[in-house]
Copies of this chain bind each other. A is one copy, B any other.
Amino acid sequence: MEKKAIKKVHEAIGSANLLTSVEDRTCYSYDASGQIFFPDAVALPESTEQVAALLSLAETYRFPVIPRGAGSGTTGGALPVHGGLIIAFSRMQRILEIDADNMIAVVEPGVVTGELQTALKEYGLMYPPDPASLKFCSLGGNAGECAGGPSAVKYGVTRDYIIGLEVVLPGGEIMQTGVRTEKGVVGYDLTRLFIGSEGTLGIFTKLILRLLPLAEAKATFLLSFSSLVQATDLVAKILTAGLLPCTLEYMDQTAVQIVRDRLSFSLPEKTAALLLVEFDGSTDEVQQQERRFTEFVQRQGDYLLQQAKDDKETQELWLARRSIGPACLNLRPHKIAEDVVVPRSRISELVQLTEQLSQELDLIILTFGHAGDGNIHVNIMVDKQNRQEYNNGLQAKERLFQCVLSMSGTLSGEHGVGITKSPFLAQELDQTALAVMQRVKDLFDPYNILNPGKIFPASQDNEQTGTS
């Protein structure tokens, strides 16, 4: 950014809302992708009007603008790969409205997902999407990436709960999309075009969310298996049997080890895989699901089924599950974290491939995640200083992606493309669709101001040019 542009930004939002020191910029130079790119400045706007003023300046002075939630994204969506101005939403985190009668909430993009969920409990309501980072990630970031979470198997993902948006477009115009009602089909569905667009088409300044009644009760089960395939095979059977858990999470042996260390109760010695299965609903319904599920498991084979006996054990299980992502960095200093999706019937093939890659390329590869919807988190652990290991890691990623696409899968279920997957985009997408997406980008953002270098394959492989 030119000095003059920074000066104008300063005039527009005031020094209290602008960070330019190296120390401050360092804090905004990385995200959960483990890569580092420095912004020229960081704006902390307090209003839609300030965001609009920033985007107007960006058009005049042609500097990149990168919207940032909590930096919990794993594909580098919030990184300023070409420098420029980060707009962070830590000062736009108000819950503007909870309309309990109509089960609608209106929030600013900086609201932390878990904090909204806590606030809604008092009203007997819930907002289902529950990314593992829910204690710190923001709803604006969730919307930008179309985040999912364990509950997606029953409740769907972010796009299913955002029904309207306030968006600032490149140039600074403010637009309202969508509705405040359960249904609405007037005009093109701009709301869902923006959801998952990774901050490349516009910047959200308000989100209208639909809510559900809070589930009265929950039952949490842990199933232990002596082989991985036993676990993944059971997943499709659970769902086609008409059981509808709100969680159907799977963990492989390495993930089991991480979880084991964090539990106060013991797991069988020879556990090679776990399924975490949860049912919610009214007290009656949950009791019935408990009974049906227990009977179902008994019919399937001799698996050890444990039920969390109280809230404390349930909390413990979830804390353990959510810690897998961060904790695996104890195994190796870096990870290549992918969130591929395959048709449920092919999960077993996919995890077998990862075991094979692990052996062939001498890598630690953890797999865990949302087996219920075929969305498996594959964490390839590497030390980037070790060139051989890192290259093997990249090779494993490439072979994983090829395999996923050959199974009619997709490269991302909930993390988005960002920079880490953009070199592979053309392998998944139809050539015409990719060209159309590029034209949509050009239509909204002709000067490529918003989050440049994201989603679309650039000339370079960004992953390898990251400075971390």
Assess the A102–B345 pair: CB atoms within 8 A.
yes
Given A160-B160, A173-B432, A188-B440, check contact A183 B288 (CB 8 Å). no
Interface 1/0 per residue, A151-191 and B, CB below 8 Å: 01100110110000000010001111101111111111110
Distance from A183 Cβ to chain B, minimum over Cβ atoms (Å): 4
- Nearest to A192 among chain B residues (CB) is B192
Assess the A343–B104 pair: CB atoms within 8 A.
yes
Instruction: State which of A20-28, A301-309, A381-389, A403-411 sits at the interface with chain B.
Output: A403-411
Given A183-B413, A375-B182, A440-B443, check contact A240 B152 (CB 8 Å). no
Within 8 A of B (CB), among A352-383: 370, 373-375
A160 to B189 CA separation, bound complex (whole angstroms): 13
Assess the B285–A180 pair: CB atoms within 8 A.
no
Contact of A413 among B181, B284, B341, B429 (CB under 8 A): B181
**Residues on the B chain within 8 Å of A428, using CB:** 186
Given A239-B213, A443-B440, check contact A343 B189 (CB 8 Å). no
What class of interface size applies to chain A in its complex with B? 35 or more
A190 to B103 CA separation, bound complex (whole angstroms): 28
Given A173-B432, A177-B430, check contact A437 B190 (CB 8 Å). yes
Given A181-B341, A181-B342, A413-B181, check contact A186 B432 (CB 8 Å). no
Instruction: State which of A60-68, A193-201, A218-226 sits at the interface with chain B.
Output: A193-201
A336 to B174 CA separation, bound complex (whole angstroms): 35
**Residues on the B chain within 8 Å of A174, using CB:** 432
A386 to B195 CA separation, bound complex (whole angstroms): 48
A169 to B440 CA separation, bound complex (whole angstroms): 14
Given A343-B99, A343-B101, check contact A412 B182 (CB 8 Å). no
- Nearest to A343 among chain B residues (CB) is B102
Assess the B185–A213 pair: CB atoms within 8 A.
no
Contact of A433 among B187, B341, B441 (CB under 8 A): B187
Interface 1/0 per residue, A193-216 and B, CB below 8 Å: 101110001000000000001101
**Residues on the B chain within 8 Å of A183, using CB:** 148, 152, 157, 341, 370, 373-375, 410, 413-414
Assess the A411–B186 pair: CB atoms within 8 A.
yes
Assess the B213–A102 pair: CB atoms within 8 A.
no
Assess the B192–A189 pair: CB atoms within 8 A.
yes
Instruction: State which of A42-50, A107-115, A259-267, A415-423 sits at the interface with chain B.
Output: A415-423
Given A159-B189, A417-B186, check contact A432 B169 (CB 8 Å). yes
Within 8 A of B (CB), among A216-245: 216, 236, 239-242, 244
Given A101-B343, A345-B102, check contact A410 B186 (CB 8 Å). yes
- Nearest to A424 among chain B residues (CB) is B186
Distance from A212 Cβ to chain B, minimum over Cβ atoms (Å): 9
